[in-house]
Amino acid sequence: MVETLSLNRERISKKDLPKLMRADEPWLRQLGVFLQEWWDENPELFFRTSGSTGKPQTVRFTKDQCRESARRTLDYFSIKTGAKTCLCLPTAYVAGKMMVIRAITGSLDLVAVPPKMNPWDHDLPEIDFAAVTPQQLSDPEAMDQLVRVMNSEGILLVGGAPIPEPTRRKISDIEIPVFETYGMTETLTHVAVKRISHPTEPLFTAFPDVSLDIDARNCLTITAPYLGPDRIQTRDIVRLEDSTRFEWVGRLDRVINSGGVKIQPEDIEARIGEELTNHLFFIHPLPDKRFGEKVVLWVEGDPGSGMEADIAEIVQSIPGLERPREYHILPRFQRTSTGKIDRQGTVAEWLEKGK
């Protein structure tokens, strides 16, 4: 049986790929490249990791494993045949690729749009299923358009990066089912989710047949038979409730050691996010002669806008060693190729420019 895909109201198969790969838009050509890879004779796909479990590397899965992962998502959220599914993620990476595989596996109606910051400003049909990054919900206009275009009982998945507190608060007020996802390339995207729209859930819950544990560092380990026999070791620090539920705390490789005290930047970011609602920011250390490392707050904004007094007040409200010893306002943060804030690159550029 020849696999087909319903793409933007047209039914396409392998024979239609040359036309797709000649499209004017680079993102459509990239989709064609992936579909060619999916429909070739090789039983495996290769994915480049982001470094969630260590140094970036190439991992491979069989196409049957990809189909099984897709089926699990479709079954968990009860996504039905023919559901209008929005592809607004680049298919150069695993999240976009898996949305395509879900559409093929579940016979969904894929609506592909450019993978940009606001994917909703198109003439879209009512959408039943979509996945986005937090950055694609950061614009207030994008959030309003999302509410208008999504089916009130549709499913929206948000993942790929931590969700800023202002965005999280906006999501919590809407009643469309919105789920934060936990996963990585090594798990073929999500293996656990939690609802973050009304009514919200406090913990991530693993998919059926996925078993969770922690190591001596409180880093999460994942066992999922459909992904292979080996346990997957992550560098995500969690508070484990039981073998299927957890609270995400932060990344092991982001821990700041200040005077022998280990500080989790994500905890400070959550506290600051309650007050600093209109600007992107992050916590990243700088060297300190006395403490080894010191906590520093980095804010994206106009250095001449007069926001310094507000930031100083927020900083002073944070107690002890968690209080940022410095803050720096930069016109623009560096971004990774997937649109995430490049913390290390931003700080390195600041240092290179002589502060």
Do residues 247 and 335 both lie within one domain?
no
Do residues 177 and 279 both lie within one domain?
no
Do residues 246 and 147 both lie within one domain?
yes
Do residues 178 and 286 both lie within one domain?
no
Do residues 21 and 162 both lie within one domain?
yes
Q: How confident is the model at residue 162 (pLDDT cuts 50, 70, 90)?
A: confident
Handedness of CA 71, 76, 78, 79 (dihedral sign): negative
Do residues 29 and 107 both lie within one domain?
yes
Give how many domains the chain has, as a whole number: 2
Assess whether pLDDT exceeds 80 at residue 1.
no
The mean per-residue pLDDT over the stretch 290-296 comes to 93
- Helix (H) / strand (E) element for 170: namely helix 165-172
Structural domain for 270, as ranges: 255-352
CATH of the domain at 156: 3.40.50.12780
Q: What is the mean pLDDT of the chain?
A: 92
The mean per-residue pLDDT over the stretch 2-24 comes to 94
Beta strands in 122-251 (DSSP E): 127-132, 150-158, 178-184, 189-195, 204-206, 211-214, 219-223, 232-242, 245-251
Do residues 134 and 226 both lie within one domain?
yes
d(CA 335, CA 3): 37
Q: Which two tokens stand for residue 306?
A: 């007069």
Q: Of the residues 203, 234, 251, which one is the last residue of a structural domain?
A: 251
pLDDT at 51: 53
Do residues 301 and 216 both lie within one domain?
no
The mean per-residue pLDDT over the stretch 83-99 comes to 96
The mean per-residue pLDDT over the stretch 12-31 comes to 95
Residues 6+ apart with CB under 8 A from 55: none
Do residues 225 and 282 both lie within one domain?
no
Following DSSP, what letter does each residue of 266-313 receive, concatenated?
HHHHHHHHTT--SS-EEE--EEETTTEEE-EEEEES-TTSS-HHHHHH
Do residues 238 and 339 both lie within one domain?
no
| Residue range 25-78, pLDDT digits in tens | 999 999 999 999 999 999 999 998 765 455 678 899 999 999 999 999 999 999
Residues 6+ apart with CB under 8 A from 216: none
DSSP 341: B
The mean per-residue pLDDT over the stretch 84-111 comes to 96
pLDDT at 26: 95
Q: Of the residues 218, 251, 284, which one is the last residue of a structural domain?
A: 251
Do residues 231 and 247 both lie within one domain?
yes
Do residues 173 and 90 both lie within one domain?
yes
Q: How confident is the model at residue 355 (pLDDT cuts 50, 70, 90)?
A: low
Q: How confident is the model at residue 135 (pLDDT cuts 50, 70, 90)?
A: confident
Assess whether pLDDT exceeds 60 at residue 104.
yes
Least confident of 159-168, 173-182, 219-228, 310-319: 159-168
Q: Of the residues 209, 230, 251, which one is the last residue of a structural domain?
A: 251
Cα 203 from chain centroid (whole Å): 17
